[in-house]
Amino acid sequence: MPLSATEAVRPAFACTWRRLAERFRLGFWLRVSVIVMTTGNFFGSCSLDNFNNYVPSSHDPAFEELRPFLPPGLKLGPLMPYLVIIAVVFIVVAIHWTYAASVSHFILFETVLDGQCELKQAWERWKRQGFRFFLWSLAFFLATLLAFAVAPGAWLAIGLAGFFIGAVARDFLVPVMALENRNVLDGWRQLLAMMREEKMTYTRYLLMKLLLALVSTLVFGVLTFFVCLIAAIPLAGLGAGIVAIWKAAALTWTRVTVSSVEILGMGALAYLLFIASLVSAPAAYFFQAYAIYFMAGRYPLLAGRMESSRSQQSRRRQSAPGAA
């Protein structure tokens, strides 16, 4: 029997508790955290940043206003070509990360569905469909930027539309593409045909998803902030040591020192992102389970796959060492 948007909350929460807390497996939690970090699915939401093509000059008024806050002796002029290269590398890395996130959406769906997470094997299974989803995500991202450029005053409406379309793609398009091996366009046709039969039901789901995302962002945002604050204490000590060494060696800003600071900064950012992923793993797992339980009653293929997964999990538990 199909579950409503509110009815799907309880089994999704129970599934998350059972998989991540009641039968706690550190390796499983860590692998889910890697997926969360890759997708950027913190607090149950997902975003893709844009890039600013403005490169400041050391003679710009804006730069002069910022000068008191910059390290002494830092001159951006000679370093501009180097900083541009860093920006290009950053964009390339961001595009590759978006591809990895697209594949990881399929891995997260399979992980919640089957209760198992094997990253290497799952990547090989889903990289083709993930690449298709990546191309769609890139096109959708560019279309969203164009909409903001054409109608900047409608930023709230565009943002909400982007949230809802992205939610539908991650929650419902990914399962259709995964279970039927469809491409993006065929998947959308199949999905829209399903949604037309229950327009108000899916609308209530999206509104409930927005409400849950706001609550999740508040709860896990605060929790993540304090955990990251504690996790940053070793980074603060390391930073103080680097500053002491810098002053003792009378170092100046050169290409080598700027590069070193960039590498250290990226390492610190990756460390804090992974800590945030560890904290946010239950939220990402819950939202994927929520979508599955809501959709299963309306998508027989997904319901059948859930029954098959339950049977396999039951057999695994019975054959596990120490099982009664």
Q: What is the pLDDT along the chain (324 residues), one digit of tens a residue?
A: 899 999 999 999 999 999 998 888 899 999 999 999 898 877 665 544 433 333 444 444 444 554 554 555 555 566 667 667 777 877 888 888 889 999 999 999 999 999 888 899 999 999 999 999 999 999 998 998 899 888 888 888 888 888 899 999 999 999 999 999 999 999 999 999 999 989 999 999 999 999 999 999 999 999 999 999 999 998 888 888 888 887 887 777 777 777 777 788 888 888 999 999 999 999 999 999 999 999 999 999 999 999 888 877 666 666 656 554
Q: Whole-model pTM?
A: 0.81
**In contact, 35 and 107? CB cutoff 8 Å:** yes
d(CA 124, CA 143): 30
Burial class (CB in 10 A: 0-12, 13-18, 19+), 16: buried
Measure CA of the first residue to CA of the last residue in the chain; give whole Å.
32
| Counts of helices then strands in the chain (DSSP H, E) | 12, 0
Residues in contact with 163: Cβ distance below 8 Å, sequence separation at least 6, in sequence order: 45, 210
d(CA 295, CA 178): 14
Say what the pLDDT of residue 72 is. 56
Could you identify the residue written with the tokens 């204490």?
A: 233
What's residue 73's pLDDT?
A: 53
pLDDT of 322 reads 54
The pLDDT value given to residue 1: 80
DSSP structural state of residue 203: H
Helix (H, G, I), strand (E, B) or coil at 211: helix
Q: What is the DSSP letter of 182?
A: -
Confirm if 296 and 302 have CB atoms less than 8 A apart: yes
What letter would DSSP give residue 310? H
pLDDT at 30: 93
* Short-list 120, 134, 127, 133, CA closest to 172: 133
